[in-house]
Structure 1
Amino acid sequence: MDKKEKQLRIGLAGLGNVGAGVYKNLEKNQSLLCERIGTELVVKKVAVRDLSRKRDVAVPSDKLTTDWKELIDDPEIDIIVELIGGVDEAHELIVAALNANKAVVTGNKAVLAEKGKELIELSEKQNSPLYCEAAVAGGIPIIKAVKEALIGNRITSIFGIINGTSNYILTRMTTAGITFEEALKEATQKGFAEADPSLDINGWDAGHKAIILGWLSYGHWLRPEEVSVIGIEDISLEDVSFAKELGYEIKLLGVIRQAEEDPRIEVRVSPTLIPNGHILSSVDGVFNAVAVHGDVVGETLFYGSGAGQDATSSAVISDLADAAENIHNDVGCTGFIPKGDFGTALPLNETLSQYYLRLSVADRPGVLAEIADITGKNNVGILSVIQPEPDSSSKHIPLVLLLHDASYGTVQNALSSILGLESVEAKHTLLRVETLKS
């Protein structure tokens, strides 16, 4: 067979924003792809929930179905692309496709974070490859980088801004001085936030991605309940302003790392103060960036559009191209794919970082000394202090402390004692500060 006569047929499950982008861009660049990979990629059938819905792309009616099982049962379809979202039905679809010995491409970070161990084991058992580049950081090829380009490295740390919606909101709060609520409304109006943005702003979209990166980097899955995830809902303009004064930007940061002689894995996501001098602090708007440190290569940085129709469909099409090459060469997925047993998470109380602590305290002498006495007894050092000029109309004033490296548990113990002081109100803000050193 002539190189250009090869053809692979695709079953596309889901024609939402990303699915429409995949269909559109496959049609647009079909000849270019065929020239580059030697295979024509043809969408044979598309599963949708509602046949009558108006769509951004025109798909012939004879290609549409409301039953994704038709894609699985069609012997002519070689690759299933799962873009229906959610966990339960997507899991059922992927399992059915792998059992039918079809290659699967998915951009579903939630199903991988919750069911990844089972799916990877089934993929290996059935010799049916599972591709997931689009599940993390959209158009940034971070999964391929970790499992292929950096295969000769022990990954010492990954720091990532891996949710575009939250990054847009925090950027607007920082640069425009608007509130969280105003920035979220603006993001929704511009199409940067979903109709239901809860997974973006509560941190779990990034949390799912961090779990996947932890598996790829260290060969073990962590259960979602073992991962600390804090969203950005409670970030105030006051905290943004104080962070600026201290020389930091607040970003929703994913942290993935493992100490060299410790089998436990640290995976967490939280609003974090990042020093202005670090390149991640300048990643603004809907852009994503992932800093990966390897013991051989040193620090590398991956930057680009982390979400959106075209960025994510680019990652899906990259996986389709890999799948086409591997199918015709009769091999499974290329690059290192860890089997991924369940690993052990580093307990939250043992995780180390610096901290930003904003308190509301009585406007009287001696309060800082009382607080410093408590932090000292808990072996938590104070790096710097901000004490704004008191407002004559208020009995309480903000007090901001930047704390030395300490375990989360130690800081919580100290904080509990501080909040027990009569001079300190219960309302407070505690954020991590990362120097971003491996």
Structure 2
Amino acid sequence: MSDEGGDKPLKVAVLGCGSVGSQVVRLLTEQSDDLAARVGAPVELAGVAVRRLDAQREVEVPAGLLTTDAAGLAGREDVDIVVEVIGGIEPARSLILTALEGGASVVTANKALLAEDGPTLFEAAAKAGRDLDYEAAVAGAIPILRPLRESLAGDRVTRVLGIVNGTTNYILDKMDSQGAGYDETLAEAQELGYAEADPTADVEGFDAAAKCAILASLAFHSRVTAADVHREGIADVTAADVQSAKDMGCVVKLLSIAELRTDPDGTEAVSVRVHPAMIPRSHPLASVRGAFNAVFVETDAAGQLMFYGPGAGGSPTASAVMGDLVTVARNRLSETRGAGESAYADRAVLPMGETRTRYHVAIDVDDRAGVLAAVAQAFARHDVSIQTVRQEGRDEEAQLVVVSHAASDAALAATVEELRTMDTVREVTSVMRVEGGEE
């Protein structure tokens, strides 16, 4: 490793030169004087690892800095900081471990890896006495991880509710504003570049689940993985669901929800889930439009806080990477390291069946006497209290729309299962959670 302090430059290796990596390289180059002033020493680009040397790139990189040997670059003795923006599990995990074992500090934007195997990386960083910073892994340019880890470290976070995937928010926002169906809106999002050709990671909730795990781990000082997060995507959200939400004064959003739940005996556990939900239009998250992200945090002392901004894209994400890079570089000069993993609380993750929320249930029924009473009895048998119920349509178009008070997911599932066996029920057409209002 290079000597730290004085005017000797800190050397930075960038692994990956896609939309984010290329913007990191641009900022390192264009803002070199400002970075030196902010850090306290020059910051020098040592190399950029790429898959193909001859690929077209958004930013021109001097040929002498390009290499296809990512492992060699990550393990170079003269490199002080490694920026990993390759994504995925491997080779990113091995490269980060190589960098830490070699004595480099690491900045990463890799949400999938952190959500799957963060503890391995944090333990390696602690052993090496180096930083592992990852602000860019959640919500792009929005500073949310550092506030959870540092600004709110003296407070007790009770809930983190967020829109953390721009693709799904764009689709649901267009469905709400235009009344369009899911399939046509997805196709439009793909044409405009808001959705990938294969949108599975976004629309099925995998991306949001990884971010939810990271947020929960930081907020509740417990190890939470993506596998712990209950996940539902937006593919089954219909124009009728969106219209029904409008009729209730709500909007449909794909929400990432991490909550601290306390049993009557005082035992605390973590609830983590990603799913579409109706939220009141009066809620701050309801106004998040297009591909923007927002995270709503509730704490004991600070109360309610919201963090809002662009959640993806090369430049916004690179901004978060650069913020971490400056912090890590300063720590190198002062021969210190920032806060590592905080998992002291070691709270268990609740099964989804024990999670409590309200529900909106649309039921196609026979239009005859006694149907409403029979449906209400089915809810009562499973201890699901009804808040409101209304009938829409007549004859073959008859439908009951029920909104419940807060109930467990298991109780609601049992209720829906019974409804589907009833002679007077033709179909349970929609079940959607209702968040953000009074329980």
Contact kept in structure 2, 1:378 and 1:414, CA below 8 Å:
yes
In terms of mean alpha carbon deviation, does 395-404 or 61-70 score higher?
395-404
Does structure 1 retain, via aligned residues, the 8 Å contact 2:8–2:42? yes
Partner of residue 405, structure 1: 406
Q: Which residue of 2 aligns with 1:36?
A: 38
Query: Superposition RMSD on alpha carbons, in Å?
Result: 2.0
Query: Percent of aligned pairs with the same residue?
Result: 38
Q: Which aligned pairs between 1:101-250 and structure 2 lie closer than 5 A?
A: 101-250=103-252
TM-score, normalising length from structure 1? 0.94
- What's the offset of the Cα at 1:225? 2.8
CA distance in 1, matches of 2:204, 2:267: 29
User: Secondary structure of the equivalent of 2:268?
Assistant: coil
CA distance in 2, matches of 1:425, 1:263: 41
Report what 1:305 is aligned to. 310
Letter in 1 for 2:385: G
What pairs with 1:3-402 in structure 2 (closer than 5 Å)?
Answer: 5-260=7-262, 261-333=266-338, 335=339, 337-339=341-343, 343-390=347-394, 395-402=396-403
- Confirm or deny: 8 A CA contact 2:16 2:85 kept in the other structure: yes
Counterpart of 1:224, as a letter, is A
Structure 2 gap ranges (5+): none
Contact 2:362 2:429 in 1 (8 A): yes
1:319-369 Cα offsets, whole Å, 9 max, x none, are 100011000000112x46314686421111110000011222233333222
TM superposition score normalised by structure 2:
0.94
What one-letter code is carried by the residue in structure 1 that aligns with 2:16?
G
Task: Give, in whole Å, the separation in 2 of the partners of 1:3 and 1:176.
Answer: 57
1:6–1:38 contact (8 Å) kept in structure 2: no
Deviations 1:159-187 (A, max 9, x none): 11111111011000000112112221222
CA distance in 2, matches of 1:30, 1:4: 16
Aligned partner of residue 406 in structure 2, secondary structure = strand
SS in structure 2 of the partner of residue 175 of structure 1: helix
Is the Cα contact below 8 Å between 1:203 and 1:269 reproduced in 2? yes
- Shift of residue 232, structure 1, vs aligned partner: 0.6
Q: Secondary structure at the match of 1:217?
A: helix
Matches of 1:360 and 1:41, distance apart in 2: 65
| Residue type at the aligned position of 1:210 | C
1:419 maps to what in 2? 420
Distance 2:52 2:323 in 1: 28
Where 2:100 maps in the other structure, the secondary structure is helix
Give structure 1 stretches of 5+ with no counterpart.
none
C-alpha contact (below 8 Å) 1:4/1:34 kept by paired residues: no
Give the secondary structure class of the aligned counterpart of 2:405: strand
Residues 286-340 of structure 1 show CA distances to partners (whole Å, capped at 9, x for unaligned) of: 111111111111111111111111110000000100011000000112x463146
User: CA 1:86–1:10 in structure 2 vs 1: closer, same or farther (change >3 Å)?
Assistant: same
Compare 107-116 and 368-377 and name the one that shifted more. Answer: 368-377
Distance 1:60 1:376, change over 3 A: same
Deviations 1:392-424 (A, max 9, x none): 7xx354332111110111111111111111222
- Aligned match of 1:429: 430
Distance in 1 (alpha carbons) for counterparts of 2:390 and 2:51: 55
